[in-house]
Homo-oligomer: A and B are copies of this chain.
Amino acid sequence: MQLIECVPNFSEGRRQDVIDEIVRCFKGKRGVYLLDSRADEDHNRLVISLVGAPAPIQDALIEAAKVALLYIDMNSHQGGHPRIGAVDVVPFTPIKDITMAECIDLAHKFGERYFNETGIPVYYYEEAAKIPERKRLEVIRKGQYEVLKDEAKNNPDRKPDVGGAGLHPTAGATVIGARKFLVAFNVNLDTNRVDIAKNIASAVRSSSGGFCHVKGIGLALEERGITQVSMNLVDYEKNSLYRVLEMIRMEAKRWGVNVIETEVYGMIPVNAILESAAYYLQIADFDPSQVLELQLLDLMGEKAE
């Protein structure tokens, strides 16, 4: 059973009737499972977390985009979060029985269909970027809707990947892409010295020469009088939790500092946990299908199809 995660962001976080109508597109659909939807008034933005089969998720996205097209006008939209469109970003993430290459392909095919059916131009980002600079979302979103609406027409460097004639007059553009699942992993240290947490963070993060797929900072948890190495693992398959944690434990020893506890913030794919369990328990040839609930998930998926 192929499973992807998709977290579309819509530029509407205030009008409850519009929010409801968008969210409704993802409910009661065979093969589409709504994990979460969160509207933020300050950001004036709606973030929806979906998991399910690629085809029905794409159908639901088109339906939701048509709702956004009807009610959201970027010319009057205001909000604290950077954005360029009524449907701002649509990332596809491989979860099960689907490769990153297939998710990239899916993003590209969906981008064409999306423009054809909604008239909203598309930029590709992250792994699905066709222009290397556009891997980074902030490059595509530079100056936001207000600047991009002119530049997309007049500056060849900023033309959309699909629908090159400029932005949609009310819905702007949508950034579609493929990316790996991001795991938020924090490690708390029994020291109040932020310099130690910062030093350890710089040892593990890619920007200062550590693990290639780890981003991290050191910070104080002031109310508790301790410090934290706060990380995003942007590829948990290449930089496993256990490897990152053991590196932090090892670095912390230099100062006689210990790990108090760790925290997984938000969702995590089961394989990220199984991999670390198999390491510490030294389980040889562990097959995730030995996990009762995962086999059940497969069987349920087959029945649902």
Contact = CB atoms under 8 A, between A and B. Distances in A.
Interface of A: 3, 5, 33-35, 51, 95-96, 181, 241-242, 245, 259-264, 266-270, 273-274, 276-277, 280-286, 290-297, 299-301, 303-304
Contact of A273 (B35, B262, B266, B274): B274
11 contacts: A35-B299, A51-B292, A51-B296, A242-B280, A245-B282, A261-B284, A264-B286, A264-B290, A268-B291, A270-B292, A293-B294
B290 A266 contact: yes
A100 B116 CA distance: 56
B295 A297 contact: no
A254 to B, nearest CB: 19
Contacts of A35: 292, 295-296, 299
A19 B303 CA distance: 23
Ordered nearest first, which 8 A-B pairs have the shortest CB separation? A280-B280, A261-B284, A277-B277, A33-B299, A270-B293, A300-B300, A273-B277, A262-B282
Query: Which residue of A5, A241, A242, A280 has the most chain B CB atoms within 10 A of its CB atom?
Result: A280
Nearest to A30: B303
A291 B286 CA distance: 18
A263 to B, nearest CB: 6
Contacts of A268: 290-292
B264 A3 contact: no
B273 A259 contact: no
B292 A300 contact: no
A181 B292 CA distance: 11
Given A276-B277, A284-B262, A284-B263, A293 B304 contact: no
Contact of A282 (B5, B261, B267, B282): B261
A300 B29 CA distance: 11
Given A273-B274, A281-B245, A292 B267 contact: yes
A300 B293 contact: no
A267 B284 contact: no
Given A273-B291, A293-B293, 11 more contacts: A33-B299, A33-B303, A245-B282, A261-B282, A261-B284, A262-B284, A268-B290, A270-B270, A270-B292, A276-B277, A303-B304
A122 to B, nearest CB: 27
Contact of A281 (B262, B292, B301): B262
Contacts of A241: 281
B273 A3 contact: no
Contacts of A260: 282
